[in-house]
Structures are given as C-alpha cells and as structure tokens.
Amino acid sequence: MQRKFLYPIIFAIGGMFGWLIDTTYRSWLVGYYAPGTLVPFFSIIFGIGAVILYLFFSSANISFLWSVIGGVAMCIALELASGILSLALLDYRFWDYSANPFNFYGLIDLRHGFYWLVLTTNYRLFYEYVTTSRK
C-alpha cells in the first residue's frame, strides 16, 4: 500500500478504535453514555498515537521489550502534551486525573500509564503479526 494512503488509514482506524475504547471505559465508570471527545465518534489523540507508534515500530530496530517501553513513553508524552495544549488553546480539560494517586497536574497518572502499556503491547503484537504475515 502506498504511504500516502497508509498513514491516513492508520490515523482513521486508530481514532475510531481509540474512541470506542475511551467511550466504553468512560461510560462504564459513570454508568451512562459519556464520549468526552472533541469530534464525535473519533479520538484525535488515539489517531495521532497510532501513527506515531507505527512510525516508531517500523523504523526502530530494537527488541520487542524496548519498543514497548519507548512506545509507552511516547504515548504518555503525547497525552501530557495534548492535555497542556487543550488547556492552553481551548481552555478546556478533557480529562482530569488529579484525584488519582501518582498524577502530574491531573494530566497523566500511573493508572493510565498502565493502560498505555496494555494498549501499546497489543498494538506492537498486532504490528508484528501484520508485518510478518505479509512477508
């Protein structure tokens, strides 16, 4: 597949899949439908994260473990940067982890870092499966 189509497809799939995960989790916590995204049925941060992880996994020639660790660090940095930008530009907080232990200004915390670990590991396994099955 040509790269000019690949990245938008990864962005779209990541954004829709991320919206589904995030909305399901948020709705389960509060007991009613709670999407919490800027764009209906799409999570921009998950779309960007999917592209970043794809670029990292496809270019870094490192072990599975280090690729997951690096991917988690990138996802947490993306979440922090997105939270700062949403507060600075939109004057709106899309998430608030300040009630959770081990949080940093309510924008990132240990629990959601663990969720990024689970998602990044699954994405890395899926990436490995797709790339080895194409050969």
Question: By CB neighbour count within 10 A (0-12 exposed, 13-18 middle, 19+ buried), where does 35 fall?
Answer: middle
Contact 51, 11 (CB under 8 A): yes
Question: Per residue in 100-117, pLDDT tens?
Answer: 999 999 999 999 999 999
Sign of CA dihedral 112, 73, 55, 7: positive
pTM over 0.75? The answer is: yes
Domain ranges for the chain, please list them: 3-133
Contact 90, 39 (CB under 8 A): no
Question: Per residue in 44-69, pLDDT tens?
Answer: 999 999 999 999 999 989 999 999 99
- Band of pLDDT at residue 135, cut at 50, 70 and 90: low
